[in-house]
Amino acid sequence: MTWGIARNGRRRVPRLVLAIWIVTAVVLWNGLYDLRISVGTRDYLLQAALHDAGRGPAVSMAETMQEHVRAAVTVASFWTALVSAAALWSTSRLLAEPLPPDATPPPATDASTRSG
């Protein structure tokens, strides 16, 4: 992968790559949170249906969902942090690779050395 080369010959991370990682982290967190909340919703609906059928105790939506919201935030945050750390590590490793010999910029010319 080719990274942009700054005037001093050092690599710079394109803003687009960082934006993609940020968007990926947000989408991952929202997706995992939504997945866990949907599991909690199904759990509540099952318990409520069992209560309506006379086969279980009464359930409170607030109590049931509170447990699932806490779990959803924990799981989504953990996996997003893990993926974000791997993204930062891999990006830093790519930037730490030595530059190819032809990537160094030509030496600057002084105005007094020009013939004209």
Could you give the CA distance from residue 86 to residue 70 in angstroms, rounded to a whole number?
A: 24
| Length of the chain in terms of residues written | 116
Angle, helix 15-52 to helix 61-96, in steps of 10 degrees? 160
User: Residue 5: beta bridge partners?
Assistant: 11
Q: What is the pLDDT along the chain (116 residues), one digit of tens a residue?
A: 555 555 555 556 666 777 888 899 999 999 999 999 999 999 999 999 999 999 999 999 999 999 999 999 999 999 999 999 988 888 777 667 666 666 555 566 666 555 55
pLDDT digits (tens, 9 = 90+) for 89-102: 887 776 676 666 66
Residue 32 corresponds to which tokens in the numbers above?
A: 């995992």
Query: Is the pTM here over 0.75, yes or no?
Result: no
CB 3, CB 95: distance < 8 Å? yes
CB 7, CB 95: distance < 8 Å? no
**CB count in 10 Å sphere of residue 76:** 20
Closest among 76, 59, 72 to 25, alpha carbons compared: 76
pLDDT given at position 57 = 95
